[in-house]
Amino acid sequence: MKRTIITFVFVLSVLILHSHPWKPSHYIIIDTDGGIDDMRAITMLLASPDVRVLGITTSGGALSPQNAYIKVKSLLNSLYHEGILVGTDTDGSYSMKEFPFALQTEWGKEDGIEGNNAPDNLSIISGLISAEKTKISFICLGSMTTALKALRNIPDFGRQVKEIVWSTDGSGYMNGFNYKIDKDASVAMLKQEIPVRIVRSMSVQQGDLYNDQLINALGSIKTPYAIKIASFFNKETVKSHKFSFNGTDEMVPVFLHYPSLFVNKVTGIISESTPADPEEIRKSTIKIVKGETIEKNQVIKKLPLDPEFYFDDISQSVNEIIEKHGVEEWKSGVFASEMHRHLGIFEIIGVKMGIRAREYFNTGVDEFKAVSYAGSTPPLSCMNDGLQVSTGSTPGHGLLTVRNDTVLAPVVDITYMGRKIRIGLKPDIARKISSELKEINFIYGLDS
């Protein structure tokens, strides 16, 4: 009996240890100089559910830090990831000539974005390091300038950053543009104690990353990330520029996910990784932009998207909903409706609120706390069911609190890394729902 009790306690303790919310493999801060390859690499990193982009800083290189900031903000806004923090180098010491092609390349709409009033890189990095307890990878897509400044000015940088991942030239880092932007920073960072992972570009002998087959494949994928990269190649100026098709900074996201596709040479705490299999790298690029870097489901292999799988009143709208709102929102709506036992208005509103919060911060499930003001009385409280399914923020994970001690409303507060946003139902939508519910109740009764 005693042995049975001990075994039970041991098994229970193991279950508790493994019952915490899922986490991605990579928590990263990206530093970029605004090159066209940076846009594609950042988009790939944003696309992967196994990577969490905590923030992005900008430094001088292909563009000035301020113009690189404008490019990054426009990209994030276009993908509705407005909640990702972005900083820039405010020292004002940029003296290089900007690359005209990088400057004219559109990452997103730049209207209303000002680089001169952007937060400083160090304040962004310091805040992120304080808020996130998981070890961080610092990704350098340009020079090592920002990394060195952070190391010298932020006391916890050396403790919290587990590695520097640096994109360099295919013929060796000392021959590359990123090394030459700031040689002093490059030399200093290669002598400090944080491990440095140098990731080389594809070589001239390996050819272009973006051949016709890869570009066509990207054009057939309906994720916003694939659409963003594919649209880049539709412009005539891009087609005539040789650098457009090279595999440069894109090797960093491929390396993070599939290091076996590289030949790795290690010397002390410095490793140098060279692309070894261009065809597999292209296939891996497709996986990343499709978001197929993790197993997203726990019980079923795949949720059917074929309209024939669904009841007649739903099937005619399946393709239209997925096309307009995406697979992730569709899946959450299906699961929430099954759990809720009917297709309810406020349950769907909860799904949409949760998806918008995840979209804003570019997070997965189980990653933020939610406080719902929908109370515990239907139909308004049905919103909580949709919130749980779309965000993974459940009472069981200690991530969802339902308030009943205040004015009830279709509103939720989301807290992520010490920052809080409030999402509510638009007044015009609320009035329309209220009117329709009154009409339905009058015709069919409250139990309908």
The half-sphere exposure of 443 on its side-chain side, counting CA atoms within 13 A, is 6
Domain match, 91 and 238 both: yes
Q: What is the pLDDT of residue 46?
A: 99
Contacting residues for 130 by C-beta, under 8 A, at least 6 apart:
156
Write the CATH number for 332.
Answer: 3.30.1330.20
In a domain? residue 295: no
Residue 8 lies in a domain: no
Q: Do residues 334 and 234 share a domain?
A: no
313 CB-side CA count, 13 A: 2
pLDDT, position 346: 93
> Residues 342, 391: one domain?
yes
Whether 273 is in a domain gets the answer yes
pLDDT at 448: 56
Same domain, yes or no, for 32 and 140? yes
| Domain final residue, candidates 231, 255, 289 | 289
Residue 249: which domain range?
26-289
pLDDT in tens, 254-295: 999 999 999 999 999 999 999 999 999 999 999 999 999 998
3-state secondary structure of 253: helix
Residues 285 and 363 in one domain: no
Boundary of a domain, candidates 239, 259, 289 = 289
156 and 127 within one domain: yes
Residue 46 located in a structural domain? yes
pLDDT at position 302: 85
Residue 136 and residue 270 share a domain: yes
pLDDT digits (tens, 9 = 90+) for 303-333: 899 999 999 999 999 999 999 999 999 999 9
CB atoms under 10 Å from CB of 41, counted, come to: 24
Among the candidates 261, 289, 317, a domain finishes at 289
- Domain co-membership, 402 together with 354: yes
Does 312 map to a domain?
yes
**In the chain, how many domains are there?**
2
The answer to whether position 155 is within a domain reads yes
Distances (CA, A) of 108 to 39, 154, 201: 10, 32, 25
- Report the pLDDT value the prediction gives residue 5, as an integer from 0 to 100: 52
Give the DSSP H/E element, type plus range, for residue 21: none
Q: Does residue 104 share a domain with residue 253?
A: yes
Assess whether 150 and 178 both reside in one domain.
Answer: yes
Q: Tell me the CATH number at 281.
A: 3.90.245.10
Show the CA angle centred on residue 126, arms to residues 153 and 180, nearest 5°.
Answer: 55
C-alpha closest to that of 361 among 46, 33, 57: 46
227 in any annotated domain: yes
Examine the domain organization and report whether 264 and 328 are in the same domain: no
pLDDT in tens, the chain (448 residues): 555 555 544 544 444 444 456 789 999 999 999 999 999 999 999 999 999 999 999 999 999 999 999 999 999 999 999 999 999 999 878 889 999 999 999 999 999 999 999 999 999 999 999 999 999 999 999 999 999 999 999 999 999 999 999 999 977 788 889 999 999 999 999 999 999 999 999 999 999 999 999 999 999 999 999 999 999 999 888 888 888 999 999 999 999 999 999 999 999 999 999 999 999 999 999 999 999 999 888 888 888 999 999 999 999 999 999 999 999 999 999 999 998 888 889 999 999 999 999 999 999 999 999 999 999 999 899 999 999 999 999 999 899 999 999 999 999 999 999 999 999 999 888 888 877 777 776 676 656 5
Residue 207 inside a domain? The answer is yes
What pLDDT is recorded for position 216?
A: 97
Q: Fill in the amino acid letter for 201.
A: S
Same domain, yes or no: 156 and 222 = yes
- Cis peptide leading into residue 379 (ω within 30°): yes
